Structure 1
Amino acid sequence: MALDTAIPRPEFLQVADAVAREKMIEREEVLEAMEMAMGKAGRQTYGQNKDIRAEIDRKTGAVKLSRWTLIVDDEALEDEETQMPIRIAQKIKPGIAVGEYIVDPLPPIDFGRIGAQTAKQVIVQRVREVERKKQFEEYKDRVGEIINGTVKRTEYGNLMVDLGRAEALLRRDECIAREAFKNGDRVRAYIYDVREEPRGPQIFLSRTHPGFLAKLFAQEVPEIYDGIIEIKAVARDPGSRAKMAVISRDSSIDPVGACVGMRGSRVQAVVAELQGEKIDIIPWSSDIATFIVNAMAPAEVSKVVLDDDDKRVEVVVPDEQLSLAIGRRGQNVRLASQLTRYDIDILTEAGESERRQEDFRKRSGLFVEGLDVDDVIAGLLVTEGYGSIEEIVDVDDEELAGIEGFDENISAELKRRAMAFLEQKDAELAQKRTDLGVEDGVVDLGYFTNAQLVSLGEAGVKTLDDVADLASDELIEILGEGAMDEETANAVIMAARAHWFGEEGEQPG
């Protein structure tokens, strides 16, 4: 028999409206929270294990309680409190199917003091969850923005910042050195992360992030905000010094001058916010050598030697510019390295010249000893860029004969001597490999040169089992950096293990 005993309760709707306005969430979400609370109170009256649900009429506020029972197959019955087998359900409601519900209206209940308190707790909890979800949705897309807030409290040096609609964390290590905030102080910071966690959204702020400096300039320089000038890279030593690389998309606008402003007004506004942090603004260049020279400012650079593969660069500066290039406690070169993403090694002109001469002497000595030539011929080979005897063997006859002062006869004789030297060296290495006890099985793998076999022997790797027991990184370390990649090292180790499986296969079953 249907029960229609719901009484209009307009005050429920008034409460929902008030909470929705106060928390700035949807009225429907508040009403759903109230329905959950009333359903919980109903379970306290009619049974905790039953599926009791409440429904609030959106026009009158009337509350209807009902018990919901899920219809399941006869053999799938697990909980008699919330489920009913299909054979019984069809007697009650012919034509009902598995997966549907039988809904039995229940008489309204008097919540009482305890029931009302329980309902209140559920509503508060649910509203808080909705509020947190709304906060996360609002702030998750604001990563990378600058935001203003008020210091609410300090916890172990970390600042809890009131943003008005949410609370954010400004950790001590994300604050600029020497700056101190008290409760109630206004603080300006950069949102660098927003995470959804069980206790609510966590908004993380920073005043040391490179993006904070970039965003401050975007606020001060209209050309950056409009996209005419682009900030390509930022490196900071927070509170002390920073470097920023900029480029203009309009050739008529000087990007550095625009960022500095009239009499330095724009850059000084940013410097004031960053507690006096000195800012070097440099022009960005797609040519990495030019960019590195700019990044080393205010030091002057005489020469740049790039190694793109290892992301390293040697910067040569005049002797009197060395301390300026390095900076106080290495600050200038460190920031330039962060800005360009290259490891920078600084040499003076005198130091670079001395090193070049030493390198020349070493290479010349190698050719004098290995090819049995005089200093003049060895010097010519080094001057032409040859650095090893292997290069002499591999070079074309015409190219070698084309060196000033050389002819075809000299070229042929140099190549003959180079080949003889390498053959003798290889024979010596082969003998040394034998003396070290490296087995022929390791040689037969076909992956190693005689020099590498000697390195293995000196490391105690002398048998196939020794090679098979290595990890790829261990093998690479023994052979030396660049001698073998990881994929090849794994192939070598698997080839060395092949005899294990062969032996197992030969064993009688």
Structure 2
Amino acid sequence: MTPGINAKELLNAMQEISSSKGISQDVIVEAIQEALKKAYFKYSGDDTDSIIRVDFDTQTGDIKMFKLKNVVEEIQDDVFETDPEEAKEQTGQDYKVGDVMEIPIDMSAFQRAAAIQAKNVFKQKLREAEKQIIFDQYNDKIHDIIIGVIEKVEPTHCLIKLNNTYAYLSKSNCLPNESLIPGRQIKVYIEDVDRKAQGAQIVVSRTAPGFVKRLMEQEINEIYEGIVEIKAISRIAGLRTKVAVYSKDINVDPSGACIGPKGSRIQRVISQIGGERIDVVNYSDNPVLFIADALKPANVIGVKLNEGEKTCVAIVPEDQYSLAIGKEAQNVNLAVKLTGWKIDIKTEADAEELNIDYQLVEDVKIMEDAKRRAPKIMVKVPVEEEQKEIPLAVQEESVMTKQK
């Protein structure tokens, strides 16, 4: 046994580490083997390309080390190869070409410093194994919410205690003016799991748009069950969030389902983010309707689109202009992020003066509602030599377009 390493103590340490850290004994044995190899190369002066095998008996704690060489007819590389004659000289045993010669390594020649080196490498390997376990456990939970306990609050961050590790919550990822008190439970959103981090590997947030999305999934049954889908979300953490929702069921009002009677459903989410305002709007594939809804609570009467540049002008009554812009331009900026369109706000008077030709929101809404509710009656029309099925509603729209 290597001086400075007690077999019984090593076995006890292995069992304790395996049970407390959740690291398998195979990983621990591999770490011990790697540690001893590195210590051997450092203090023996042997070529680091040499093949070394470490045998570790998990029942007794006994360790044996061997240097391996392939037995060949003609030696090309004496680091890896030997011939039968040389092999017999070194071991006193007969070898034939194709065998592997095992040269026992005298571990008593190791200095105590080598044992310390082995222990240090072993500790490093265990840390790496622990990090891998944490990574494997939490990597699949990225973009999910977890509940932890506030362990320590620092000026720049706080540590959140999870079951077997810590999560890092920076001050920039905390809600403005929220009180973080050690010992209290807290919901956080996993943004990343960093396998190479020196400290806490799990990076969490309470300001990410995804945090609000996950809270809504938890608190609103229609979203959890898939009846209502969150299509887009934009957020100014601590101040305001806009969420665009959609349902394939034409009988479901998606925004109404999320808000609930007297705002009861959305209030359950708001209460968990420090009273931050949440605007729930209806998503539409039609950009005119989506942009108009995204600017709520302002009443948008018309929209002019420039689809090539993905810019638009939203037309509002005079008394709705400030509401459409919002305090510190929050409303329009969130609408831009939500829709992906650059939005310019103009009043009706501005539109008339600038001769802006725009689509009326109400007209577009009537047309889209009719298309959505139209029965999909399939009829066959000849297309060259094959028959293709086309919805009747699409045919009618095509005829109307031609008549214009």
Scaled to the shorter chain, the TM-score interval is 0.7 to 0.9
1:96 and 2:94 correspond:
no
CA-to-aligned-CA distance 1:134-179 (integer Å, 9 cap, x gap): 2112222211101222334455523333333233322222222222
Aligned-pair distance for 1:209? 1.1
Further displaced range: 59-68 or 88-97 = 88-97
User: Which amino acid in structure 1 is aligned with residue 167 of structure 2?
Assistant: A
* Contact kept? 2:23, 2:130, Cα under 8 Å: yes
What secondary structure, in the 3-state scheme, does the structure 1 residue paired with 2:291 have? helix
Gaps of 5+ in 2: 1-5, 358-404
Partner residue, 2:147:
148
Aligned-pair distance for 1:246? 0.8
- Taking only the aligned residue pairs, the percentage that are identical comes to 35
Further displaced range: 110-119 or 268-277 = 110-119
In structure 1, how many angstroms separate the alpha carbons of the residues matched to 2:147 and 2:239? 23
Q: How does 1:225-374 map to 2 (within 5 A)?
A: 225-356=224-355
1:65 and 2:65 correspond:
yes
Q: Which structure's CA Rg is the greater one? A: 1
In structure 2, how many angstroms separate the alpha carbons of the residues matched to 1:101 and 1:168? 49
What secondary structure, in the 3-state scheme, does the structure 2 residue paired with 1:135 have? helix
Q: CA RMSD in A?
A: 3.1
Distance 1:338 1:102, change over 3 A: same
**Aligned pair partner of 2:22 in 24, 31, 34:** 24
CA-to-aligned-CA distance 1:240-295 (integer Å, 9 cap, x gap): 11111111233443322321234433211211111111111111111111111111
Partner residue, 2:55:
55
User: Which amino acid in structure 1 is aligned with residue 64 of structure 2?
Assistant: K
What secondary structure, in the 3-state scheme, does the structure 1 residue paired with 2:256 have? helix
- Whichever structure has more helix as a proportion of its residues is 1
> May I ask how many residue pairs the two structures share in their alignment?
346
Aligned-pair distance for 1:202? 3.4
* Contact kept? 1:133, 1:200, Cα under 8 Å: no
What secondary structure, in the 3-state scheme, does the structure 2 residue paired with 1:246 have? strand
Aligned-pair distance for 1:24? 0.7
In structure 2, how many angstroms separate the alpha carbons of the residues matched to 1:172 and 1:67? 54
User: Which amino acid in structure 2 is aligned with residue 299 of structure 1?
Assistant: A
Partner residue, 1:382:
none
In structure 2, how many angstroms separate the alpha carbons of the residues matched to 1:41 and 1:337? 60
CA-to-aligned-CA distance 1:427-475 (integer Å, 9 cap, x gap): xxxxxxxxxxxxxxxxxxxxxxxxxxxxxxxxxxxxxxxxxxxxxxxxx
CA-to-aligned-CA distance 1:198-246 (integer Å, 9 cap, x gap): 6477322221111110000011012212212110011111111111111
User: Which amino acid in structure 2 is aligned with residue 147 of structure 1?
Assistant: I
CA-to-aligned-CA distance 1:310-330 (integer Å, 9 cap, x gap): 111111111111111111111
* Contact kept? 1:194, 1:204, Cα under 8 Å: yes
In structure 1, how many angstroms separate the alpha carbons of the residues matched to 2:13 and 2:46? 27
User: Which amino acid in structure 2 is aligned with residue 19 of structure 1?
Assistant: I
In structure 2, how many angstroms separate the alpha carbons of the residues matched to 1:90 and 1:57? 27
In structure 1, how many angstroms separate the alpha carbons of the residues matched to 2:171 and 2:144? 20
What secondary structure, in the 3-state scheme, does the structure 1 residue paired with 2:175 have? coil
Further displaced range: 57-66 or 14-23 = 57-66
Aligned-pair distance for 1:11? 5.7
Aligned-pair distance for 1:44? 6.8
User: Which amino acid in structure 2 is aligned with residue 55 of structure 1?
Assistant: D
Distance 1:172 1:72, change over 3 A: farther
CA-to-aligned-CA distance 1:341-388 (integer Å, 9 cap, x gap): 100111101111111199xxxxxxxxxxxxxxxxxxxxxxxxxxxxxx
Gaps of 5+ in 1: 1-7, 359-509
What secondary structure, in the 3-state scheme, does the structure 2 residue paired with 1:197 have? coil
What secondary structure, in the 3-state scheme, does the structure 2 residue paired with 1:305 have? strand
In structure 2, how many angstroms separate the alpha carbons of the residues matched to 1:87 and 1:311? 78
Aligned-pair distance for 1:17? 1.9
Distance 1:187 1:72, change over 3 A: farther
* Contact kept? 1:242, 1:278, Cα under 8 Å: yes
User: Which amino acid in structure 2 is aligned with residue 56 of structure 1?
Assistant: F
* Contact kept? 1:235, 1:339, Cα under 8 Å: yes
- Whichever structure has more strand as a proportion of its residues is 2
Distance 1:338 1:73, change over 3 A: farther
Q: What TM-score do the two structures reach when normalised by structure 2?
A: 0.76
In structure 1, how many angstroms separate the alpha carbons of the residues matched to 2:111 and 2:171? 49
